[in-house]
Structure formats: structure tokens, C-alpha cells
Structure 1
Amino acid sequence: MDKFTTLTGIAAPMPLVNIDTDMIIPKQFLKTIKRSGLGVNLFDEMRYDRDGNELPDFVLNQPAWRDSQILVAGDNFGCGSSREHAPWALLDFGIRCVISTSFADIFFNNCFKNGILPITLPQEAVDVLMDDAQKGANARMTVDLENQTVSTSDGQEFHFDIDPFRKHCLLNGLDDIGLTMEKAASIDTFEDQMSQARPWI
């Protein structure tokens, strides 16, 4: 998993509330167990018409936001079914941070396990960030995980809270496997001891 330290990038405004995981990645794309290749189908039913042509009004199809790395979204982002493909699709598209007033719990947890930083802020702060995101490629937000701040393109700064353990994992690029491998020496020692104590196992 890639480390998350400081991200400066284009933010896309998505003020819709209750964007669920089926909107993020529709069910027909859940057959794969690979984490790559899902970005093209991110928000599929909002991005494309029935013939697969891009819908020009959708924010991520517009030139100013095609390379967005941050989403500023409406309330209750990631609700619905508990599909881990949702953060996979966001990450494969290039989204590393989602900012909202609230997230569904399972989606929120899955983001951290996949290197995406979900930031919860009060409505007043999200409104300011949403307005800044409307500026498109001419304005870039900065997310500083170490200092737990989000800064608008004109320097207005907001502090966010994050669980210290999750912060540690993101800063060091540690998913569940990475956390286990940090204990590799202890695991090897334990296995050696068990093989000597119980050689029949």
C-alpha cells in the first residue's frame, strides 16, 4: 500500500448526499477480485450513457476535474452494501482522499485498509471546500496527514481528527498484511520454538 503523507491535487465537487457503493461501482463489476482495472467503471451509471459514451455533465468527465485526486462529497458517502470494490475503484481512478460530513462505517474502514484517507469535517468546512473545488484545475487543495489539515487553494485551513493507529498505518503504507509483516521476526522466532517443542506438528 502506498504511503499517504501530503497530497496536493485537484478536488472534484460531488454535493450529492447518500452516494452509495452501488453508485460508486455498480454490482455488475464485482466479479473481479483484482484491485486494479476498476477505475474506468467508477461512478459508471453517472459517467456513461447506455452506449458507453461519456456524459459531458458529469464532473469527472469534464476537463477541469479529470485528474482529480480528492473528492468533496455530500453527507453519508459510501452507504449501502459493504463492497470493498468501492475504495478499489476510487483508488484505481486516482482518488486518494474523500471529504464529507459523514461516511458509512464499513466504507470508512475499507478506505483506510486501501490507502484512501476519508476526512470528516463539519458542514461549514465542507461548504467552503466544495466552493473551492468548483474552481477546478485552477485550484489545488492540500491534505497534510501529519498535521491533520486540509487547505484550500487560497490557504484557508481546516483541522481534522483521525484515529492515531489509522494515521500511523496510512503514513507508513501499512495494510493488514503490512502490519503482520512488521512482526515477521517475532513470527519466525515463535515458529522455530514451536518446531523444536512440537516437531510432530
Structure 2
Amino acid sequence: MDKFTTVTGVAAPMPLINIDTDMIIPKLFLKTIKRSGLGVNLFDEMRYDDDRNERPEFVLNKPAYRNAEILVAGENFGCGSSREHAPWAIKDFGIKVVIAPSFADIFFNNCFKNGILPIALPQEDVDILMKDAERGANARMTVDLEKQEITTSDGQTVAFEVDAFKKHCLIEGLDDIGQTMSKEASISTFESKAAQERPWV
């Protein structure tokens, strides 16, 4: 998993509430266990019509937001089924930060495990960021995980909270496997000692 420090990029506004995981990545695309290749199907039913043509009115199809790295959304983002493909699709598209007033718990935790920073903020702060995002490609936000600050395109700052351990894992680029491998020396020492004390095992 890549280390997360600071993201400066375009923020896409998606002022919808209750965006569930089936909206993020429809069940049709859950057959794969690969984390790559799902970005093209992110928000598939909203992005494409029945003939697989892009819907020009959808935010991520607009030229200003095609390379968005930040998503500003409504409350209860990521509700619905607990499919890990949802953060996989978001990450594969190129979005590294999702900002909303609230998140579904499983989706929220899955984001951290996949290198995405989900930020829950009071509605009034989300409104400020949503308005800034609506300005288009010239309005670039900066999300600084170390400082726990979001800076709008006009220099306004919004502070956010994040669990200290989850912050550490993102900054160090540690997913669940990475966390285990960081203890490799201790694990090897334990196994060697156990083999000497219990050679019959």
C-alpha cells in the first residue's frame, strides 16, 4: 500500500445522501478478486446509459472532474452491503480522499485498509468544501494528513479528526498484511524459540 501524506488535487462534488456500495460498484462487477481494473465501473449506473455511453451530466464525466482525487459527498456514504470492491473501485479510479458528514462503519474501515482517507466532518464544513469543489478544475484542495487539515482553493482551512493508529498506518503505507510483516523480526524470534522449546510440534 502506498504511503499517504498530502494530497493536492481537484475535488468532485457529489451532494447525494445514502450513496450505497451498490451505487459505488454494482454487484455485476464483484466477480473479480483483483483490486485493479474496477475504476472504469465506479458509479457505473450513474456514469453510463444502457448503451454504455457516458452520461455527460454525471460529475465524474465532466472534463473538470475526470482526474479528481478528492470526493465531497453527502451523509451516510458507503452504506449498504459490506463489499470491499467499493473502496477498490474508488482507489482504482484515482480518488484518495472521501469527505462526507458520515460514513457506514464497514466502508469507513475498509477505506483505511485500502489506502483511502475517509474524513467525517460537520455538515457546515462539508458545505464549505462542497461549494469550493463546485468551482471546477481550477479549485484545487489540499488534504494534509500529518497536520489533519484541509485547505480550500482560496486558503481557508478545515481541521479534521482521525484515529491515531489508522493515521499511522496510512502514513506508513501499512495494510493488514503490512502490519503483520512489520513484526517479522519478533515473529521469527518467537517461532525459533518455540521450535527449540517444543521440537515435537
Q: What range describes the TM-score normalised by the shorter chain of this pair?
A: over 0.9
CA deviation string 1:124-172 (max 9, x = no partner): 1101100100111111000000000011000000000011000100111
Matched AA of 1:112: F
- Alignment-derived partner of residue 122 in structure 1: 122
> How far 1:26 moved relative to its partner?
0.2
Distance in 2 (alpha carbons) for counterparts of 1:128 and 1:194: 57
- Alignment-derived partner of residue 173 in structure 2: 173
> How far 1:120 moved relative to its partner?
0.7
Matched, 1:186 2:186: yes
Distance in 2 (alpha carbons) for counterparts of 1:199 and 1:80: 49
SS of corresponding position for 1:138: coil
- Alignment-derived partner of residue 163 in structure 1: 163
Alignment of 1:24-103 (within 5 A): 24-103=24-103
Distance in 1 (alpha carbons) for counterparts of 2:75 and 2:153: 23
- Alignment-derived partner of residue 131 in structure 1: 131
Distance in 2 (alpha carbons) for counterparts of 1:145 and 1:159: 10
Distance in 1 (alpha carbons) for counterparts of 2:20 and 2:156: 30
Distance in 2 (alpha carbons) for counterparts of 1:136 and 1:173: 30
SS of corresponding position for 2:165: helix
TM-score (norm 1): 0.99
SS of corresponding position for 1:136: coil
TM-score (norm 2): 0.99
Q: Structure 1: where are the runs of 5+ without partners? A: none
Matched, 1:149 2:149: yes
Matched AA of 2:171: L
Tell me how large the CA RMSD over aligned residues is. Answer: 0.6
SS of corresponding position for 1:158: strand
SS of corresponding position for 1:60: helix
> How far 1:196 moved relative to its partner?
1.5
- How many residue pairs get matched? 201
Distance in 2 (alpha carbons) for counterparts of 1:129 and 1:194: 54
> How far 1:35 moved relative to its partner?
0.4
Distance in 1 (alpha carbons) for counterparts of 2:197 and 2:82: 43
Matched, 1:196 2:196: yes
Matched AA of 1:5: T
